[in-house]
Structure 1
Amino acid sequence: MAVRSFGRWILMAGVLAGSLGGCANPAADQALFAQNALVGMPKATLLSCAGVPERQAAVDNREFFTYRSGRIVSYPSPSVGLWGGHWGPRYGYGLGYHDWPDYGTEVASVDCEATFTLRNGVVERIVYGGATGGATRLGQCYAIVQNCLALIPPPVPVPKP
């Protein structure tokens, strides 16, 4: 009996893991892919697909082009309070004395700063930074590199023997 319930637990854990895998951020994945795929791109091509950088600097035979992308996002904010005569979770701020919740919003800034290092007129490295962290920032970094990625041919699948 214990083995049977353990098997169910394993099955449920697998279903949960599979469903969480579906929450991946494809834009973040593409931004990570770009860090390797755009290495070797000529300066003229970079300028044509990414545009004029916000900042640039040159040291010895290296150039640094920095691009920025940002946006403001808002979403409903959960809170707990008295509404409809009951204490409980609701959306909004303050005390509401009616049968529907007040909808408040949280506002956040998402940003990315991508610095391209060029040596002898060719992209050598791409570094992402910014105040936002994780997949959220990487998703915003995709906005910087997406036009350049469109110029990279897709990889040719290698047939399995």
Structure 2
Amino acid sequence: MTMRRRLLRWAFVGAGAALGLASCANVAADRALFAQSALVGMPKGTLLSCAGVPDRQAVVDNREYFTYRSSRLVSYPSPTVGLYGGGWGPHYGYGWGGWPAYGSEIASFDCDATFSLRNGVVERVVYGGTSGGATRLGQCYAIVQNCLPQTPVASAQPNP
């Protein structure tokens, strides 16, 4: 095989890998990250009008803290250990050879978004929760999505 063909083959492999990684992008997570900086400077009244009444709030050393919580449970069927190849119950697969579907799995996604306000203006946005990584960030977007159009930098928001 010539050197040119090898390079061409690796170029296709690299392009395929880049395309595969791009398809896994979580747009909601990207927008939630963007919101952490875009919402800084937002007036308290605007925050309350777009995000609603916070689930918790506190005042410490002339700072206000508004915490919003978003969570959801997702249930989907999953195969469980059972009679494989037998003929009992509903099952996945072809004909009688599938796994019986008697179980389900539950996934929990949650986010706590805490807004720190000083002198009636958002100073910082911090995300937390038990979910991790892009999963949590995707759920955080549910909290901030109505506020993003209220920011002056909304036109710089990442495109879907």
Alignment TM class, shorter chain as reference? 0.7 to 0.9
Runs of 5+ in structure 1 lacking a partner? Answer: 92-97, 157-161
Mapped partners of 1:76, 1:11: distance in 2: 37
Mapped partners of 1:2, 1:134: distance in 2: 43
Pairs within 5 Å for 1:1-161: 1=1, 3=3, 4-77=5-78, 83-84=84-85, 98-103=96-101, 104-153=103-152, 154-155=154-155
1:155 aligned partner, one-letter code: S
Cα drift, residue 39 of structure 1: 0.5
2:60 aligned partner, one-letter code: V
TM-aligned CA distance change 1:10 to 1:78, over 3 Å: farther
**Residues 66-100 of structure 1, C-alpha deviations (whole Å, 9 max, x = no match):** 01000001234356765226xxxx96xxxxxx433
**Residues 79-136 of structure 1, C-alpha deviations (whole Å, 9 max, x = no match):** 6765226xxxx96xxxxxx433322321011000000000111000000000000101
Say which SS state the counterpart of residue 147 (structure 1) adopts. coil
Identity level (%): 67
8 A contact 2:51–2:143 mirrored in 1: yes
2:97 aligned partner, one-letter code: D
State the number of aligned residues: 147
Mapped partners of 2:13, 2:110: distance in 1: 36
**Residues 121-155 of structure 1, C-alpha deviations (whole Å, 9 max, x = no match):** 10000000000001010000001001111222433
8 A contact 2:113–2:126 mirrored in 1: yes
1:102 aligned partner, one-letter code: P
8 A contact 2:42–2:151 mirrored in 1: no
Moved over 6 A (4+): none
Mapped partners of 1:81, 1:102: distance in 2: 6
Mapped partners of 2:77, 2:134: distance in 1: 21
The structure with the largest strand share of the pair is 1
Relative contact order, CA 8 A, sep 6+: which one is greater? 2
TM-aligned CA distance change 1:80 to 1:7, over 3 Å: farther
1:131 aligned partner, one-letter code: T
Cα drift, residue 23 of structure 1: 1.8
